[in-house]
Copies of this chain bind each other. A is one copy, B any other.
Amino acid sequence: MGKHQNTVGSSTYEKIKHDIIFGQLVPGSKLKLELIKRQYEASVSTLRETLNRLASEGFVLAEEQRGFYVTEVSQKDLIEIAKLRVLLECHALKASVESGDDDWEGNLVAAHHKLQLMEKKMIAGDVSEKETWKRYDWEFHLAVIEACNSKNLLDLHSILYDKYLRYQMLVFTFRGYEAAQEHHKIFEAALSRNGTEAARLLEAHIINGLEHTLAAM
């Protein structure tokens, strides 16, 4: 197993990021060092490292001499993020579909299969594994574009996905059946190497999610 032993820094990073994405830390709230020090059991300096990292990814706002705040949310911001995700993810998809090898196909089939199983459970009413479901969603979307051959693109996409996810978690209302169908169609188009069609479907998938979230905000 590739379990790397965690430093205090990296584990508080994971925790705080998770708490921002999943709404435990509410948008706009101030992250007072003395307070979160207790909550996350780390020293001020370690926390500051973490918060600086999160700030340059955009999850935290760092105001010089004035402290740290959980980044605000807004409809405008969500729209920007969704549009960027469309731009980057569709671009990556087309490149990936063109150059993906057998490994890529195998991985994609596996990711789609796992996601599908979980979606069936969710549609049947079992919402107990929300976080696992979201992880499978992520793994599927990643598997589709993973062969795009650009680490820089994948890195940018990963952050955008998390920002988008934060909005989805914020308003959490289920769009399971439609989303599952869309995933399936994207999967089929990608596997049959129809990049243009897959990109069209992916764009619709993201925009549908956007509208669903906007409506619930």
Contacts and interface: CB of A to CB of B under 8 A. Distances in A.
Which of the four size classes fits the interface of chain A? 20 to 34
Contact of A55 (B53, B65, B156): B53
A192 interface: no
B80 A91 contact: no
Interface stretch (A114-122, A146-154, A201-209): A146-154
B48 A80 contact: no
**Chain A: interface secondary structure?**
helix
Copies in the complex: 2
A49 interface: yes
A77 interface: yes
Interface in A42-62: 45, 48-50, 52-53, 55-58
A65 B4 CA distance: 11
A7 interface: yes
A102 interface: no
Nearest to A54: B56
B87 A150 contact: no
Interface string A1-33: 000100100100000000000000000000000
Contact of A53 (B52, B64, B84): B52
Contact of A45 (B45, B50, B80, B155): B45
A45 to B, nearest CB: 4
A81 interface: yes
A90 B16 CA distance: 35
Nearest to A88: B87
A185 interface: no
Interface string A142-185: 00000000111101100000000000000000000000000000
